[in-house]
Amino acid sequence: MPHAKHGLRLDLRTLILVLCALTAVVMLLSSYFASYRVQRQLLIDHALEANRVYAAKLAAITETSLGNALQQLAFSAQVQGRQLTDDAALQAETERVLRQSSAFNSTFMIDAKGTLRAISPASLRHLTGTPSTSPGALEALRERRTLVSTAYLSAANNLVVVLSQPIYNAQGRYLGYVGGSLYLRERNILKGLLGEHFYQDGSYLYVIDRNHRLLYHPDGERVGTLVTGNTLVDQLATLGSGTRRVVNSQGVEMLAGFANVPSAGWSVVAQQPLTATVAPMHHLILNVIGISAPLALLGSLLLWWLALVIVRPLWQLAAAARNLDRAGTAERLHRVRAWYFEAAELKRALLFGLNLLQERIGRLNHDAQTDPLTGLVNRRGLATTLAHWQAQAQPFAAIVLDVDHFKRVNDTYGHDVGDAVLRRLAELMRGACREGDVLCRTGGEEFLMLLPGASLAAASNVAERLRLSVEQTLFAPVGQLTISLGVAHWLATEHEAPSAVLKRADDALYMAKQSGRNQVFSTGAEDNSM
């Protein structure tokens, strides 16, 4: 081979064909991956919302059912208040309430002294006349109001919840109460509402009270047990209604939706396994591949033909260049001269495309390092900046600040107003800084200002100026707010990482808050050379 000494050489046609093939494969795989990720997230979001809506619906039904049961007891309390001296009438009334609906496992009347005056069903009538000392009875006697008691274990090892209505006479004297009990380990109103809602894909729901005790669970053995080590259960009392990705007691990742039953202090949680939720994705991706593969093959053939068309004049040009010593070469070069212009245009187009791609990558990189709410640098951008300054031995001052009592703003005016306050604070920070200072939002209402080349005194002045600016600004509709600031300084000669300065600034912020807030606290030795 005449060119063996130069090693294996690929001509332009082969290179373009390989490039087209690789581009087609990469784009195809990228589209598959993007489709998979987007569809997977859509399935997860839909499952979370569906579980939340389902839990809210069941919580509302449970609330209504408890309200209806309490209303029945309220009517019975009026009736029994007029016949307290007639034990037979009291017994007949408790029997009527029990038979009127399937809401209760037993109904009873207890007087103000705690003595059981009447009870149904008949199997429990031997208890009539005895003092009632169960936790539910004592709670009702103590509270003397409409009540859904805390779940407790009875002497017979039943998990019991008592619904009660007080009895008052015309003079407002407390005479006792009418109650109905739910045996949560037996058939009851809760099982009637929730017992049919168990799915074959691993989805299930459970009800838990404010003491973390399971009141309903598809696994009857778990009813009455206390749930520990579950972050969602620990927060249910304060979360209200919402969604959460959690890991259950069997270590399975679940998609949970939850809602509260206000009158009882219970929470209904509906959840399903993440694996079952995303399982349809495999079938979907196979369908996408089956549909797109023929189109991809057709596209590859088209790319191959176009590559041949584009390469042919360039190959002719290369052939002419190899035969410069032959007659007619000038004419052949003249004939392909126009293709040089096309080649130049192709080069320009490729350069343009590369520049456009780099611009988009730069924009994505900027977005990845920018907080979307305030437009300030986020933690990723902060880490990049600190690494760059450390490599350059660039001294700087750090100001850590946050809004005093910002939680009150969110709790009182909502998160939209809270977001507006943070955006306005970011504007004030920009107004207090120089060109080249780095402003960061590190989380929530916490912010960080990095001042390259600034001394500790200069940074403290900037911090004080910003503090006054915030104090004098009215944040509609909140009004006046204040901030606390901590200042620290890093010298390139110090034997510590720049990140350690952030810790010192954060400690200074803590001292500012401990000293009464709305003030600047600085820490660290000042470099006299600055």
What pLDDT, on a 0 to 100 scale, did the predictor assign at position 5? Answer: 46
Q: Residue 365: helix, strand or coil by DSSP?
A: helix
Report the candidate in 441, 492, 485, 495 with the shortest Cα–Cα distance to residue 462: 485
CATH level 3 topology of 9-310: Beta-Lactamase (3.30.450)
Q: How far apart are CA 380 and CA 376, in angstroms?
A: 11
- Give me 203's structure tokens: 């989805």
Domain limits, CATH 3.30.70.270, in the chain: 379-522
Q: How far apart are CA 530 and CA 461, in angstroms?
A: 15
Please, which residues bridge with residue 253 across strands? 247
User: Which residue in the block uniquely carries the two structure tokens 């407390």?
Assistant: 174
What pLDDT, on a 0 to 100 scale, did the predictor assign at position 108? Answer: 93
3 state SS for 393-427: CCCEEEEEEEECCHHHHHHHHCHHHHHHHHHHHHH
The CATH number assigned to the domain with range 379-522 reads 3.30.70.270
What pLDDT, on a 0 to 100 scale, did the predictor assign at position 427? Answer: 94
Overall pTM > 0.85:
no
445 a catalytic residue: yes
Report the candidate in 433, 455, 429 with the shortest Cα–Cα distance to residue 441: 429
What pLDDT, on a 0 to 100 scale, did the predictor assign at position 467? Answer: 95
Q: Phi, psi at residue 506, to the nearest 5°?
A: -65, -40
Q: Phi, psi at residue 241, to the nearest 5°?
A: -115, 140
Cα end-to-end span (Å), the chain: 71
Q: Annotated catalytic residue: which of 445, 471, 494, 496?
A: 445
Do residues 73 and 97 touch, judged by C-beta distance below 8 A? yes
Residue 197 carries which side chain, given as an amino acid letter? H
Domain limits, CATH 3.30.450.20, in the chain: 9-310
Q: Which residues of the chain have pLDDT under 50?
A: 1-7, 337-340, 344-355, 357-358, 525-530
Residue 144 carries which side chain, given as an amino acid letter? R
